[in-house]
Chain A
C-alpha cells in the first residue's frame, strides 16, 4: 500500500512568513509523529498524535510551532514568523498504534529553507 507522504517536498520562504507542512500517514495508522532533521544530524522529536489529539508536544521548540490532526488522519505542522534557524527537513512518521514496538514509517520529508 501507499506509504507516508508529505507535501510540499521543498518549501522556500522568507524570514517572518507563515508556513504549513502537510503529512498523509499510512491509512489506518492511529499514531503520527513529527520530527525535525537538521543538516548532518539525526531526527529530533517534535510532537506525537494519537488519533486526533496531541498526546505529547514536548519537542516543539517554542510557541511559533503548532500542529493539528483534526480528523485523525492528515496532519499539518504550522510555523509562524519563521526564522532562519527553522531551516531543516521536517519528517513525518506514522505507526499502527503508537504502542509497543510498532514500527514508525517515515515520509520523504519537507525541506524547509528560510531566507
Chain B
C-alpha cells in the first residue's frame, strides 16, 4: 500500500519568513495530493490540493509543488503569520479508485514566532 513520509516534524520560523514542508510517497499510481491544516484541538481542514496532471498550484500565500518523477510534493507558505501556527498534514490518494481514501504523512508542527 501507499506510504507517505513528511519532513520536518517540527518547524519554527519568524513571522514574515517562508516555510516549506516536504512529503514523499511510494505508490506511483497516487495522483491526488491534498494538504490539511489542524489547529490544536480542532478538526483537520483542507487548505490546498493538487492533481498529478499539474506541477504547481497557488492560492494567495500558499502553494504546492509536485514532482511525479521523484514522487515528492511540497507545501510553501510565504509571509507567515502567527495564525499559520498549526500542524500540517500531507496526504496521497488515487482518485481513480472508488472512495479516494487518504494516506497521511506524520504531520509537521509549524510555529510562527511574532
In angstroms, Cα B34 to Cα A44, docked, is 15
Residues of B within 8 A of A59 (CB): 101
Question: Which of A31, A101, A109 is in CB contact (< 8 Å) with B49?
Answer: A101
Q: Chain A, 84-102, contact with B by CB distance < 8 Å: what is the 0/1 string?
A: 0000000100010011111
Are A43's CB and B99's CB within 8 A?
A: no
Q: Please judge, given known A-B contacts A100-B95, A103-B46, whether A43 and B51 are in contact too, CB under 8 Å.
A: no
Residue in A35, A41, A45, A99 whose Cβ sees the most chain B Cβ within 10 Å = A45
Q: What is the interface of chain B, defined by CB distance below 8 A to chain A?
A: 4, 6, 32, 34, 36, 42-46, 49, 51, 89, 91, 95, 98-107
Q: What is the interface of chain A, defined by CB distance below 8 A to chain B?
A: 3-4, 31, 33, 35, 40-45, 48, 50, 55-56, 59, 91, 95, 98-109
